[in-house]
Amino acid sequence: MLDIENLGKTYGAHVALRGVTLHADGGQVFGLLGPNGAGKTTLLRVLATLLEPTTGHARVGGHDVRREPEAVRRIIGVVNGGMGLYDRLTGREILRYFAGFYGLTRAQADTRIAELDHALGLAETLDRRAGEYSTGMKQKIVVARAVIHDPEVLVLDEAASGLDILARRALLDFVLAARRPGRLVLYSTHVMSEVEEVCDRVAIIDHGELLTEGTVTGVLAATGQKSLERAFFHLLQERAERVPA
């Protein structure tokens, strides 16, 4: 589902990604960890065809992000911070509108909305205008919009940021339920407990460099640490000592 080889991205003299190589199969939730500015969002935007890589290549669901961007966009759903909604539309109208982009009929869209209502608890949002939503309500519709077409690859970039405890719980339960054969969920977050709960494998990135990749248990064993947070800081410290600022 995901095949990244020696991927690099530069902005002038700034190196955002440094030869990242990663592979991930369907049927799992793959976590992406790193401090602010590590390159996580750049990597996810390359995979979503929003940015073009400078070097290397990436294939999503078998499609090359550089040569087949439209094919990639048809099979992915993306959620990141700052995604807006049409304030004058209700949640149901927003979801029907985006369903139309993917060729769903009104009946198919309404069936899918009912499924997502059950999974995410959308009832309070569907027939209210988005301009009246709380942050948590907005994020539920943003997530539902991203998966209205039942994508093969779901990209969640800090999707739980700003959510209250109930909305966050609904999101995490949805991510767990989204794990199935033939689907890959890419989950980027700063919250270690979220990764430990929902992710099958994790990659840690700093300064655009892949520091490690594996199961949470494997990362702990390789670093000799007792928690993912300690392993995270251990790897960052190792890099800082290896590559002085």
- String of DSSP letters for 39-73: SHHHHHHHHTTSS--SEEEEEETTEETTT-HHHHH
Q: Could you read off the pLDDT of 101-127 as tens digits, one per residue?
A: 999 999 999 999 999 999 888 989 999
Q: Could you read off the pLDDT of 168-204 as tens digits, one per residue?
A: 888 899 899 888 898 999 999 888 889 999 999 999 9
Q: Is residue 222 part of a domain?
A: yes
Give the CATH number, domain containing residue 217.
Answer: 3.40.50.300
Whole-number average pLDDT of the chain = 92
pTM, 2 dp: 0.91
Within 13 A of 194's CA, how many CA atoms are on the CB side? 26
pLDDT number for residue 82: 64
Q: Is residue 74 part of a domain?
A: yes
Query: Which residues form the domain of 180?
Result: 2-84+154-242
Burial class (CB in 10 A: 0-12, 13-18, 19+), 78: buried
Q: Is residue 9 part of a domain?
A: yes
Report the domain count for the chain: 1
Residue 245 has pLDDT above 70, yes or no: no
Q: Is residue 108 part of a domain?
A: no
Q: Could you give the 3-state DSSP secondary structure of residue 200?
A: coil
Q: Is residue 58 part of a domain?
A: yes
Q: Is residue 92 part of a domain?
A: no
Residue count (the chain): 245
Q: Could you read off the pLDDT of 197-241 as tens digits, one per residue?
A: 999 999 999 999 999 999 999 999 999 999 999 999 999 999 999
Token pair recorded at residue 142: 């943003």
Q: What are phi and psi of 72, to 5 degrees?
A: -65, -45
pLDDT number for residue 81: 67
Would you say 200 and 28 are in contact if contact means Cβ atoms under 8 Å apart? Answer: yes
Q: Is residue 36 part of a domain?
A: yes
Place of tokens 């991510």: 175
Q: Is residue 118 part of a domain?
A: no
Query: How do 209-214 and 201-206 pair as beta strands?
Result: antiparallel
